[in-house]
Amino acid sequence: MNNETSRHEGGSLLIIGAGPGGYQAAAYAAKNGLTVTIIEEEHAGGTCLNCGCIPTKALCHDAENPTDFSAAMARKDAIVSQLRSGVEQLMQMPGIRFVRGHGSLQADGSVKVQTSDDEEIIKADNIILATGSRAKLPPIPGIDLPGVVTSTELLTIDHVPARLCIVGAGVIGLELAGVFAAYGSEVTVIEFMKECLPQMDSDIAKRLRKQLEKRGITFYIGAGVKVIRNVENKEIRNEEISNSLNFTFSHSLSVSFEQKGKELSVEADVVLIATGRKPNTEGLNLEAAGIATDSRGFIPVDENFETKIIRDGENPHLYAIGDVNGRQMLAHAAEAQAHRVVNHILERKDGLRLDIMPAAVFTTPEVACVGPTEEQLKAENRDFIVHKATFRANGRALCIGETEGLVKLITDPDDRLLAAHIMGPHAADLVQEVTAYITLGATLKQLRETVHIHPTLSEVLIEVN
């Protein structure tokens, strides 16, 4: 196939991975006349729906007013099941063929699909790799001991650990710290960097840590874990039951770490490793397809998320979206990238601003952001102005009893909105409003001149000074 002539309506698209990026690409492409095959070897919906965003947020919600942990876990499972069924139903729409199996790239530009009982070779004009990511485990001695888990296992645990040690104070670590602390765990968080949420505004991150400490969570910041040891080894596991809900841990682990030159340790019943994620590229046979990964294992892509094929010959257009390209490891980023790719295949221009990507952490209180931090702007030698407000005088915040928080809006010297960094009630919703203004190139004056309902939390945005 000639690369110069393959983009047209009515062409074929093959997608490996049915997570947010994959299933959104499939649905959008089918609606626009492409013939789609989507391959998934596990559950439809990917990490986000099955063992990431959705189950975590369900537990975060119930943890705000914790009652019965088993009931919260059951509700979480019901939500996941309902949404997964919805994705599977979406993948049955006209123009889409949903295949359960493992897809791997072949040297001739085709994809080999291995199902449970068959093997098939599929060719397509365009291929999208949307295989997502999984937990990244650092080389810590003892990390393979029973009771040391990733978020995937912790989200299926059938009890509340008396003592939970979390290695890593990123989004996953902090959200699950808040959940299990609310249900009674003694939670300790160990973070190597100098502050939690190292990619976010340092002022906001510090304030969030202080709030979580008030909720009983202990933090060791600037601390590097050296080894995990088994103090007692009394693991109880029902090997006859494959469902991961049916396991308990009854042993003690010791986590040794260094902080400011001192050797310290904490004991825990369960240790959660939340130190980041790595791309799912194993088994894709990238080398045969002529694709090289970067030093971190991610697939490099251009502005249209097309990969660079490093061999000669006729090839399909091959794209990589979502976590597997490492650009913005967020479910909504994968969805936006999916739309950009399909538009590129159809030779359509779009106005998607993929450089403006909001993000949120669903702790209590919430944290959310869009745009660069003060630290990033300073590093780029850019001029900017910071505008701040608190929730203490906001009528709605007082009514709901959530007055802790800070709003930071950043503008350029011409009043153009550049960023928002918020800690407080419904921070994600507030940042979403600012995201719209930034996308449209609006000024803080224009935001202030937009009438806001009273009493609402959004009024805090126009109270910054």
Residues serving a catalytic function are: 454
Spatial contact of 190 and 223, defined as CB atoms under 8 Å apart: yes
Residue 427, CA atoms < 13 Å, CB-side half-sphere: 30
372: tokens are: 């660069």
Spatial contact of 406 and 366, defined as CB atoms under 8 Å apart: no
Spatial contact of 10 and 29, defined as CB atoms under 8 Å apart: no
SS3 call for 75:
helix
Q: Is the dihedral of CA 235, 142, 153, 165 positive or negative?
A: positive
Q: What is the DSSP string of 174-227?
A: HHHHHHHHHTT-EEEEEESSSSSSTTS-HHHHHHHHHHHHHTT-EEEESEEEEE
Please enumerate in sequence order all residues whose Cβ is within 8 A of that of 10, keeping only pairs 6 or more positions apart, or say none: 33, 34, 35
Instruction: State the residue for tokens 């009982």.
Output: 117
> Which residue, among 163, 273, 260, 270, has the nearest Cα to 218 in the 3D structure?
163
Give Rg (Cα) of the chain: 24
Spatial contact of 321 and 129, defined as CB atoms under 8 Å apart: yes
Instruction: State the residue for tokens 């009893």.
Output: 401
Please enumerate in sequence order all residues whose Cβ is within 8 A of that of 89, keeping only pairs 6 or more positions apart, or say none: none
How far apart CA 316 and CA 294 sit, in angstroms, is: 21
300: tokens are: 């490099």
Residue 356, CA atoms < 13 Å, CB-side half-sphere: 18
Spatial contact of 359 and 433, defined as CB atoms under 8 Å apart: no
The three-point CA angle 375-174-279 to 5° equals: 80
322, 436, 343, 124 alpha-carbon torsion, rounded to 10°: 20
| Helix boundaries (H) for 268-382 | 286-289, 331-345, 374-379
